[in-house]
Amino acid sequence: MKLATWNVNSLKVRLPHVLEFLDRHKPDALCLQELKLEDANFPLAVINAAGYQAVYSGQKTYNGVAILSPTAAADVSAGIPGLDDPQKRVLAATVNGVRVVCVYIPNGEAVESDKYKYKLGWLQALILWLKQELAAYPKLALLGDYNVAPEDRDVYDPKAWAGKVLFSDPEKAAFKDMITLGLTDSFRMFDQVEKSYSWWDYRMNGFKRNLGLRIDHILLSAELAQTCKSCSIDLDFRAKERPSDHAPVIVEI
DNA sequence: ATGGCGGCTCGCAGCCGA
């Protein structure tokens, strides 16, 4: 079974890339973030025509998440239960017996900002909910844009990024808390080339110079990690004309 | 040290992302 995650930075603009991704990788579930469109504008007909079903939770301009799958998604739930948040950042569904949790964790802007406080509170709410969700669904995958680079090797210049948003100690601690719940970072289960990243700034030729961060992750529950076969980042989609600034991450379980 | 790119909007400038 193949699962994938991709922050598309506008589904309207990236729809051709998404269709190409579905055709090339044929994932059993594809989690998308930053749809930047309302549910009424979700391109369901085009995705159905590609052989995929979709569940989604969108809003105008910002955020928005979706799960695409060839088979129907069951027990769909949007948002973090108990967290009153108008921002559409979480969607969970069961696909072929696997609990697929698609997240777009807040960016945080800068450690001094209110958005950073919102991010840390949001992460705490996510972790509390995940603990329950893991108890209910032993086969669980948490896929998405975490906006956290967990280790030095996930950052092109860890000294320059030390203490900055996406790489501050409280954010890294929250990531570790997720690992402590029993989740495994599937990417690090396997040998990877050095300087592997999932996001590069559009500016300064970030991708060509490989000035990136690894902030998109697929964490697996123990039961899924046991049988995980591979995890990779598909750089081809970041190298395209008019790409998303994120590359897709793919896991085989 | 700064800004840079790209996507969005009751657009032509400003917000947001990371």
Closest CA to the C1' of B8: that residue is A61
Distance A99 CA to B18 C1' (A): 28
Tell me whether residue A197 is one of the annotated catalytic residues: no
Distance A68 CA to B4 C1' (A): 34
Distance A64 CA to B3 C1' (A): 29
pLDDT in tens, chain A (253 residues): 999 999 999 999 999 999 999 999 999 999 999 999 999 999 999 999 999 999 999 999 999 999 999 999 999 999 999 999 999 999 999 999 999 999 999 999 999 999 999 999 999 999 999 999 999 999 999 999 999 999 999 999 999 999 999 999 999 999 999 999 999 999 999 999 999 999 999 999 999 999 999 999 999 999 999 999 999 999 999 999 999 999 999 999 9
Distance (Å, rounded) from C-alpha A97 to C-alpha A104? 23
SS3 content of chain A, % helix, strand, coil (to 5): 30, 25, 40
Nearest to A188 by CA among A144, A240, A227, A151: A151
Q: Which residues touch strand B (CB under 7 A)?
A: A 7, 9-10, 12-13, 34, 36, 60-62, 106-107, 109-110, 115, 145, 147, 165-166, 199, 201-204, 213, 215, 242, 245-246
- From the list A28, A52, A116, A145, the catalytic residue is A145
Q: Return the bridge partners of A186, or none.
A: none
Tell me whether residue A202 is one of the annotated catalytic residues: no
Nearest to A224 by CA among A29, A9, A58: A29
Q: What is the pTM of this model?
A: 0.97
Distance A113 CA to B8 C1' (A): 22
- From the list A56, A104, A116, A197, the catalytic residue is A104
